[in-house]
Amino acid sequence: MDNMLLCNFDAIDRQHERILDLLKHMATADFPDQETAVACLQELKTTTLEHFDQEETLLCTVLSKDEVDNHSKLHQDFESRIVALMQYLARNRMMNRMLAASTAKWYRDHVLVEDKAILAKVRLKLDLKENDREARPAATRPATEPQQVKTTLFDIVGALRRLWLPS
Ligand SMILES: [Fe+2]
Ligand SMILES: [Fe+2]
């Protein structure tokens, strides 16, 4: 896939690639019959719905409800484009290549702009959370460390005294 589209979440990147491949196929392929075109559109619908579900679940882990809802509205917009493609196919018994191409462009732009931005924010928040989690046990460490240093110094002094002072 075009590196520009990578969002640094492997599973999400793979799903984006699959959806973009299906859209490209719909916009360029010569479907031998209506059934083949319907099967492709059905696969797009299933893959997309699964992807939106997983992406929104990931967003929910660290973002506010409003942020997730705003992104979810964009996904609903895309779902209505799939419905329009299905309706055209049902009426005309053929794929609407122009509509498929504009749907592919919409989706590519969505990944490039909105997904990349929001997933970068998710990555940042997850990293901060992870750093915070790693830093917390260290905060309890100083309570034991001076004690260990004191013991060590005491041991050294004791050892020196035993070496140099007559018993
Ligand atoms: Fe996405
Ligand atoms: Fe998205």
> How distant, in Å, are the alpha carbons of 50, 72, 73, 151 from that of 77?
16, 9, 6, 67
Ligand nearest to the CA of residue 59, numbered in listed order: 2
pLDDT for res 118: 98
From ligand 1's centre to the CA of 11, what distance in Å? 10
User: How far does residue 127's CA lie from ligand 1's centre (Å)?
Assistant: 20
Domain membership of residue 122 as a residue range: 3-164
Q: What is the mean pLDDT of each run of 10 residues along the chain (167 residues)?
A: 94 98 97 96 98 98 98 98 97 96 98 98 96 78 52 58 58
Considering its fold, how many domains does the chain have in total?
1
pLDDT of residue 57: 98
Q: What CATH number corresponds to the domain at position 27? A: 1.20.120.50
Contact 77, 93 (CB under 8 A): no
User: What pLDDT does residue 162 have?
Assistant: 63
pTM above 0.75, yes or no: yes
* CB 14 within 8 Å of CB 5: no
